[in-house]
Amino acid sequence: MLNSVILIGRLVETPVLRVYDNEVSVTTITLAVARPFKNHDGEYDTDFIRCVFWDVVARNLADYCAKGDCIAVRGRIQSKTSEVTFEKDGETLKKKISTLDVIGERVVFLSSNKNKKEEYIEDIV
Q: Is the dihedral of CA 81, 18, 102, 41 positive or negative?
A: positive
CATH architecture assignment, domain 5-124: Beta Barrel (2.40)
What per-residue confidence (pLDDT) applies to 21?
A: 86
Please give the angle made by the CA atoms of 18, 97 and 50, to the nearest 5 degrees: 40
pTM above 0.85, yes or no: no
Q: Is the pLDDT of residue 111 over 90?
A: no
* Average pLDDT of span 17-45: 93
- Can you give the residue ranges of every domain in the chain? 5-124
Mean pLDDT of the residues in the chain: 88
* Whole-number pLDDT of residue 114: 59
Burial class (CB in 10 A: 0-12, 13-18, 19+), 9: buried
Residue 112 in this model has a pLDDT that exceeds 90: no
The 10s digit of each residue's pLDDT in 43-86 is 999 999 999 999 999 999 999 999 999 999 999 999 999 998 98
The H or E element that residue 35 is part of is strand 25-38
Query: What are the residue ranges of helices labelled H in 28-81?
Result: 55-64
Please give the pLDDT value at position 115.
55
